[in-house]
Amino acid sequence: MFEFANKPDLPTLLVIDDDLVSREVLATVLTMTGYTVHTADSGEASLKLLSAGKCAPSVILVDAQMPGLSGTQLIEGLRARSTARVVFISASKVPDAILAASDGFLLKPFDPEALHNFLEGQAPLAASAGEESLLTKLDPDTPVVNAATLAQLREMMPDSSVKQIYAAIVADLDKRLPALEDAIAKGDIAEVGRIGHAIKGGCGMAGALQASQLGALLQEGVLEVAVPAGASSRNHLDNSSSVVSNLRAAARNLESMIKTEFPA
């Protein structure tokens, strides 16, 4: 694991992300690594935080897909209130206009080493070919949790904190499942994709592989992949029902993992 303990000059970060799990997992991991981290749950909240002088970040990490104030409009507001580098983070590609106006981009999930390399001017760690291939098909042999990520988290924080991270993910999945089923029933492709994006990003940061890859299927397979000629969006959404069933199973698998790895 990359060592940050001897780096007293780590920059202060502001993390802006509307998704609670993504925001808190990232903030927890970065804090335990040695960064000073402030958080905001929206673009508007981040501007109020900066205007009030409650934090003076050197780097601002901004989720690229948030409701309300976002994109280039948010960048302008951040630039007017701070000299920090503005780096967009997302579980998928971001528009070229946003990239051009920002100071860079990191693809979720990323670890502290990738962030450190990026801030030092080195290329961020890219996803492996195996990870990319799973965006189009769920591998039945996918582990519930990435063993390396779990080991890294255990090196950075006590088991009780790691357990809380995974328990929060399970609770978040259980909350999202009814909303996801409702969006499918209404034929709301955009909402299904938005929920998938949030699941992919939050679960990916904690190495919850099964749930993250199912979130990717919902996002990439429903939101970004064009509906075939002659097929209705209704039928296209119906294909996601099996993903929902698997997502529910992934949540229970993660719950079982918690009981096994962190017995009371």
Q: Name the domain count of the chain.
A: 2
Q: In which domain, by residue range, is 68 found?
A: 12-126
At residue 173, does pLDDT exceed 50? yes
- Are 120 and 192 found together in one domain? no
Q: Identify whether 188 is part of a domain.
A: yes
At residue 21, does pLDDT exceed 50? yes
At residue 130, does pLDDT exceed 90? no
Q: What is the CATH number of the domain that holds 141?
A: 1.20.120.160
- Are 161 and 97 found together in one domain? no
Q: Name which of 263, 260, 262, 250 is nearest 170 in CA terms.
A: 250
Helices (H), the chain: 20-33, 43-51, 71-81, 96-101, 112-119, 129-133, 147-156, 159-186, 189-205, 209-218, 233-238, 241-261
Higher pLDDT, 225 or 45: 45
Q: Name which of 182, 200, 204, 205 is nearest 192 in CA terms.
A: 182
Q: What pLDDT was estimated at residue 139?
A: 63
- Are 89 and 165 found together in one domain? no
Q: Name which of 231, 141, 129, 95 is nearest 222 in CA terms.
A: 231
Q: What is the CATH number of the domain that holds 42?
A: 3.40.50.2300
Give the mean model confidence (pLDDT) for residues 115-132.
57
At residue 79, does pLDDT exceed 50? yes
Q: Are 25 and 202 in contact (CB under 8 A)?
A: yes
Q: Identify whether 4 is part of a domain.
A: no
Q: What pLDDT was estimated at residue 59?
A: 93
Q: What pLDDT was estimated at residue 152?
A: 84
- Domain C-terminal end among 70, 93, 126: 126
DSSP assigned state of 143: -
